[in-house]
Structure 1
Amino acid sequence: MDSAFRSNLFDIAQDASQAATAHNDSEHHIVRSISIDKLPDKLLLNIAGYLHLSELGKFARVCKKWRVIAYDSRLWTRVSLRPEFSGLHVYSPEILQALIGIRFGSTLRYIEIPSDLITAPVLHELSNKSPGLRYMTLDFSNAMQLHDFNDLNAFPCNLRSLCICLSEVIFLEGFMRRIYSCLSSLEVLHLIGTFELSSESEEDIYEVINISKIKAHTPNLKVVNLYGITFLDDSHIDLLASNCIHIENLALNFCLRVKGASFKNLIQRCKKLKCLLLHHAGVEDDHMMSVPWETSSIHELDLTSTELSAQCLESILLRMPGFTYLALGYCEFFNDKVRLRRLGILASHGMNLQGLMIAGKPKLTENFWLNAIPYLRNIKICVLGTANGWFLKMQTRIHVDQIVEFFAQHCPRMERCEIQWDPDTIRFSEKSNKFIDHIRLRCPGLRSFTLSDGEYYEMAKSNFERADRVKVVRTCTNYTTSIVSLLTAYNDLLFN
Structure 2
Amino acid sequence: MDTHKEGTQSHHRKSCTVDSLPDKCLLYVFSYIHQRDLGKIARTCKKWRLLAYNQQLWQVVSFRPEYNGLHVNSFENLIALINVRFAPSLRYIELPCELVTPPILHELSNKCPALRYMTLDFSNAMQLHDFNDLNSFPCNLKSLCICLSEVIFLEGFMRRIYSCLSSLQVLHLIGTFEQTSEGEEDVYEVVNIGKIKAHTPNLRVVNLYGITFIDDSHIELLTSNCIHLECLALNFCLRVKGASFKNLIMRCKKLKTLLLQHTGVEDVYMKSVPWETSQVHELDLTSTELSAECLEHVLLRIPFFTYLALGHCEFFTDKILGEMVAAGKFRQLKAIDLSSTSGLSENAIYQFLQTHGSGLHGLVLSGKPKLTESFWLNVIAFLKNIRICVLGTANGWFLKLTTKVHIDQVIEAFAQNCPYMSRLEIQWDPDTIRFSDKSSKFIDHIRLRCPFLKSFTLSDGEYYEMVKSNFERADRVKVIRTTTFYQTSIISLVSCFNDLLFN
Give me the TM-score of the superposition, normalised by structure 2.
0.87
Equivalent positions of 1:271-350 (< 5 A) are 271-338=253-320, 340-344=321-325, 348-350=328-330
Q: Pick from 340, 351, 363: which aligns with 1:360?
A: 340
AA of the residue aligned to 1:372: F
1:222-301 pair list within 5 angstroms:
222-301=204-283
Q: 1:24 to 1:464 in 2, by over 3 A?
A: same
Q: Contact between 1:304 and 1:329, CA under 8 Å: does it hold in 2?
A: yes
Partners of 1:350 and 1:375 within 8 A in 2: no
Matches within 5 A, 1:146-295: 146-295=128-277
Letter in 1 for 2:364: V
**Residue 350 of structure 1: how far off its partner (Å):** 2.3
Deviations 1:373-392 (A, max 9, x none): 123220011111317xxxxx
Letter matched to residue 347 of structure 2:
N
Q: Distance in 2 between matches of 1:422 and 1:107?
A: 47
> Which structure 1 residue ranges, 5 or more long, are not aligned?
1-17, 388-393
Q: Distance in 1 between matches of 2:408 and 2:94?
A: 49
- In the alignment, which residue of structure 2 is the partner of 1:464? 442
Which residue of 1 is the match for residue 383 of structure 2? 411
- Residue 172 of structure 1 aligns to which amino acid in structure 2? L
CA contact (8 A) 2:411 2:446 kept: no
**What residue in structure 1 maps to residue 367 of structure 2?**
386
SS at match of 2:329: helix
Q: What amino acid maps onto 1:371 in structure 2?
A: Q
Aligned residues: 466
Decide whether the 8 Å contact of 1:255 with 1:280 is kept in 2. yes
Q: What CA RMSD, in Å, does the superposition of the two structures yield over aligned residues?
A: 2.3
Does residue 128 (structure 1) correspond to residue 110 (structure 2)? The answer is yes
Q: Deviation per CA, 1:336-374, whole angstroms, max 9, x where unpaired?
A: 343x122336x5132311111111233433122112112
Residues 217 and 38 (structure 1), Cα distance of their counterparts in 2 relative to 1, 3 Å cut: same
Alpha-carbon distance between aligned partners in 2 of 1:399 and 1:68, rounded to the nearest angstrom: 57
Please say if residues 394 and 429 of structure 2, whose CA atoms lie closer than 8 Å, have aligned partners that are also in contact: yes
Deviation at 1:447, TM superposition (A): 3.7
Deviation sequence 1:305-352 (CA, Å, 0-9, x none): 1111111111111111111111110123223343x122336x513231
Contact 2:215 2:239 in 1 (8 A): yes
Distance verdict in 2 for CA 1:461–1:111, change over 3 Å: farther
Q: Offset of 1:437 from its aligned partner?
A: 4.5
Equivalent pair of 1:412/1:442 in contact (CA under 8 Å):
yes
Unaligned runs of 5+ in 2: 461-481
Q: Equivalent residue for 1:36? A: 18
In structure 1, what is the Cα distance between the partners aligned to 2:373 and 2:25?
Answer: 52
Conserved 8 A contact 1:336-1:363: yes
SS in structure 2 at match of 1:215: helix
Residues 66-105 of structure 1 mapped to structure 2, 5 A cutoff: 66-105=48-87
Of residues 366-375 and 102-111 in structure 1, the stretch that sits farther from structure 2 once superposed is 366-375
- Change in Cα spacing, 1:128 to 1:29, as seen in structure 2 (3 Å) is same
3-state SS of the aligned residue for 1:276? strand
CA offset at residue 151 of structure 1?
0.8
SS at match of 1:351: coil
The answer on whether the counterparts of 2:42 and 2:52 sit within 8 Å (CA) in structure 1 is: yes
After TM superposition, the structure 1 stretch with the greater mean CA deviation from structure 2, 444-453 or 364-373, is 444-453
Q: Which has the larger radius of gyration?
A: 1
Of all paired residues, the percent bearing the same amino acid is 56
* 1:422 Cα offset (Å): 5.0
Is the Cα contact below 8 Å between 1:127 and 1:157 reproduced in 2?
A: yes
TM-score by length of structure 1 reads: 0.88
Could you tell me how far 1:399 is from its partner in structure 2? 5.1
